[in-house]
A and B are shown apart, each in its own frame.
Chain A
């Protein structure tokens, strides 16, 4: 091919590829602006984390494409198909709330790179205080009293053998604004003996009260359920093969992701419940791979996210292994029950 011909081919290709790319971006921008016609019904309004005189509501991150994406939306817990109410601010990637305190892990769009921060919200969704985060948000929890807040972020750079991952979990006391930035600094007791290793990762805190919590501790390629103490700064393993624990409202059971042998490496988890009194494990009726920290809607029912058309949908299943999974809310993630 002559130089001139080559140049023409290159020029034509650049024009074609540039047009394709531009169209893709414009299409996506249009999708982000306009609401989808077939999406769940939404109206703008007030979302509150305070007392709900009309019965408990489910507050969650809206995943619908369009202007409401990443906003906090709420539906009545008993009628999750009702028109959802979406608050225009803040936008959150992860969210949880209890007793009038909310935690919203959000992206802060920067010029070169996005940053993330954890925002503590009051009952009217106003920011009380915020903290910069070192990585992508993945888990958030508020203690039942609303006093303690925990979050986990995902650090891709924090690795030990290259190309791996690491997490960082922090606990914040909103009464004193004391921040324990990294739970990995806590004293770990593994299978009854003191343990130290740089590959210890902690994620997925679930609070019992303002003192005790549970979380996943991972080291040496294994995961454990650890009981933690906020004041003494200890983590003590109590059970193996537990990820993303979620404590039942009465404090007797843990819903969690269990790595079940025989499942494929990239979809290894099933939703299980551990009875802390007998240490007996039982499977739920959900047969799909669950990669979420489940939420107890009440003493009997679990809610969790699964991949869906808009990213994720929230499903529910009885905690005792009976029944069948049911779709709870379309295009939603990170739910919390507000009573």
Chain B
């Protein structure tokens, strides 16, 4: 998205001038945060990968029991995510001398609290012998994740020069995905070495999580390298209401929610692929790996492409890739694996082209001192949209079958992409192109 990056903020004084023709260095803070996410994702995904197995085959919990465990605490994360963003933006204690609005919030402290909370939950898994206790541990773990997401993204956006932000987010997301792929692998290697050794998996996960917190505390500066977001004047009022008075953020938030309403959850995409393309049952667990691999490969190049050729263009292209994926599932030109591979590639491409881009676009329209809350607001809007989409698809599927549900969502996505492309268009009134 071109948006307002260059409207009021020429390249910041402290930013190294980008050298044409050669990619600029990636900020060390971004790499450090990428490492924290990678390590933390190894830790959390190794638990996620074995948890259903542990519950169902060792503790003999039934599927419904697991569903209850999983579902009971789901709503709280959204609130906690907003809370994390707002808390993180409040000026830190040592920073109270009028520097409250220059981006020196408590991002690191709040992120560390979030990562720390989740890390403490891993050894707690060892002690949880009954399902209620286990449910509580999982809820606290999730709260930690909600708390840390916005301040972490704010740190990334504050560490990267505005014209390199999409790539910075791409680098972070790619490292994150490496962790998400490596976690289950490590867990199953441990189970291979020690059959039934779930407690060993939890112990190793706890060690890895502790390492992630340590890397955050030791290697991520509390005040990242002097980069700033847009220095827009902030309207008066309550924090969230004030943010929503920023026209740029309002547009991004609106588009995120609107597109979210037409974005099928991953589960639905895999379910549609499985059912409509007639994939063998054994392939089902492997489908997410296909998306993740493509995401991993393309996150950095597409982020750089967004910085260079316009974030709006890449963002819209990403959604067009998703639209093509829906169309393939809808029209089924052929059955089976080849089509499924193309759909998963488009799905991974969609994530690589849009996830970091949305964060970078948000960062560009929010003052440095409100990065946390701004990012939290947009991701909450997106999550709310996607939840609405899941409910709608469920109802449509029940009434008219999966083909009708998919057709409706394909049409909705086409409409949403057109609206987003229009709303986010660059124009004389919106400042010149930031590419």
Q: Do A and B come from one complex?
A: yes
The answer to whether A159 and B402 touch across the interface, beta carbons within 8 angstroms, is no
Q: Which chain A residues border B2 with CB–CB below 8 Å?
A: none
* Stretch from B67-75, B145-153, B222-230, B244-252 contacting the other chain: B67-75
Q: What 0/1 readout, one digit per residue, does chain B (47-76) give for beta carbons within 8 Å of chain A? A: 001001100111111111111111110100
The answer to whether B53 and A165 touch across the interface, beta carbons within 8 angstroms, is no
Q: Is A60 an interface residue (CB 8 A)?
A: no
Q: In the complex, how many angstroms separate the beta carbon of B173 from the nearest chain A beta carbon?
A: 20
Q: Which chain B residues border A14 with CB–CB below 8 Å?
A: 211
The answer to whether A162 and B214 touch across the interface, beta carbons within 8 angstroms, is no
B interface residue numbers (CB < 8 A to A) = 49, 52-53, 56-72, 74, 129-132, 135, 184-185, 188, 190-197, 199-200, 203-204, 207-208, 210-211, 214-215, 218-219, 265-268, 270-271, 280-282, 284-289, 386-387, 390-391, 393-394, 397-398, 402
The answer to whether B132 and A161 touch across the interface, beta carbons within 8 angstroms, is no
The answer to whether A305 and B60 touch across the interface, beta carbons within 8 angstroms, is yes
Q: Which chain A residues border B271 with CB–CB below 8 Å?
A: 157-159
Interface residues of A in 9-34 (CB under 8 A from B): 9-10, 13-14, 17-18, 20-21, 24-25, 27-29, 31-32
What residue in chain B is nearest A181 (Cβ atoms)?
B281
Q: Which chain B residues border A113 with CB–CB below 8 Å?
A: 49, 184, 188, 285-286, 289
The answer to whether A157 and B285 touch across the interface, beta carbons within 8 angstroms, is yes
What residue in chain B is nearest A166 (Cβ atoms)?
B63
The answer to whether B281 and A132 touch across the interface, beta carbons within 8 angstroms, is yes
Q: Is A69 an interface residue (CB 8 A)?
A: yes
Q: Given B68, B130, B281, which contacts A265 in the complex, CB threshold below 8 Å?
A: B68
Q: Which chain A residues border B397 with CB–CB below 8 Å?
A: 160, 198
The answer to whether B218 and A9 touch across the interface, beta carbons within 8 angstroms, is yes
Q: A65 with B196: in contact, given A6-B218, A165-B66, A198-B402 (CB under 8 Å)?
A: yes
Q: Which chain B residues border A155 with CB–CB below 8 Å?
A: 284
Q: Which chain B residues border A21 with CB–CB below 8 Å?
A: 203-204, 207-208
* Bound complex: CA A14 to CA B35 (Å): 14
The answer to whether B199 and A24 touch across the interface, beta carbons within 8 angstroms, is yes
Q: Given A17, A167, A197, which contacts B207 in the complex, CB threshold below 8 Å?
A: A17
The answer to whether B398 and A218 touch across the interface, beta carbons within 8 angstroms, is no
Q: Given A134, A257, A292, which contacts B60 in the complex, CB threshold below 8 Å?
A: A292
Q: In the complex, how many angstroms separate the beta carbon of A117 from the nearest chain B beta carbon?
A: 8
Q: In the complex, how many angstroms separate the beta carbon of A86 from the nearest chain B beta carbon?
A: 15
* Bound complex: CA A1 to CA B214 (Å): 13
Residue of B129, B194, B271, B287 with most partner-chain A CB within 10 A = B194
The answer to whether B204 and A25 touch across the interface, beta carbons within 8 angstroms, is yes
The answer to whether B390 and A160 touch across the interface, beta carbons within 8 angstroms, is yes
The answer to whether B67 and A164 touch across the interface, beta carbons within 8 angstroms, is yes
Q: Given A114, A162, A167, which contacts B390 in the complex, CB threshold below 8 Å?
A: A162
Q: Given B288, B386, B387, which contacts A157 in the complex, CB threshold below 8 Å?
A: B288
Interface residues of A in 111-155 (CB under 8 A from B): 112-115, 132-138, 152, 154-155
Q: In the complex, how many angstroms separate the beta carbon of A254 from the nearest chain B beta carbon?
A: 17
Q: Can you offer 14 A-B residue contacts whose CB atoms are under 8 A?
A: A31-B197, A112-B185, A113-B286, A136-B56, A157-B285, A160-B267, A160-B394, A165-B70, A198-B394, A264-B132, A265-B68, A291-B61, A292-B62, A312-B60
Q: A1 with B218: in contact, given A21-B207, A69-B196, A112-B188 (CB under 8 Å)?
A: yes
Q: In the complex, how many angstroms separate the beta carbon of B156 from the nearest chain A beta carbon?
A: 21
Q: Which chain B residues border A197 with CB–CB below 8 Å?
A: 398
Q: Is A89 an interface residue (CB 8 A)?
A: no
Given contacts A154-B52, A292-B60, 13 further A-B contacts (CB under 8 A): A14-B211, A25-B204, A29-B197, A109-B192, A112-B185, A113-B188, A115-B285, A134-B282, A136-B53, A162-B386, A163-B71, A243-B62, A264-B132
Q: Which chain A residues border B393 with CB–CB below 8 Å?
A: 160
Q: In the complex, how many angstroms separate the beta carbon of A300 from the nearest chain B beta carbon?
A: 24
What residue in chain A is nearest B198 (Cβ atoms)?
A28
The answer to whether B63 and A165 touch across the interface, beta carbons within 8 angstroms, is yes
Q: Given A24, A181, A305, which contacts B203 in the complex, CB threshold below 8 Å?
A: A24
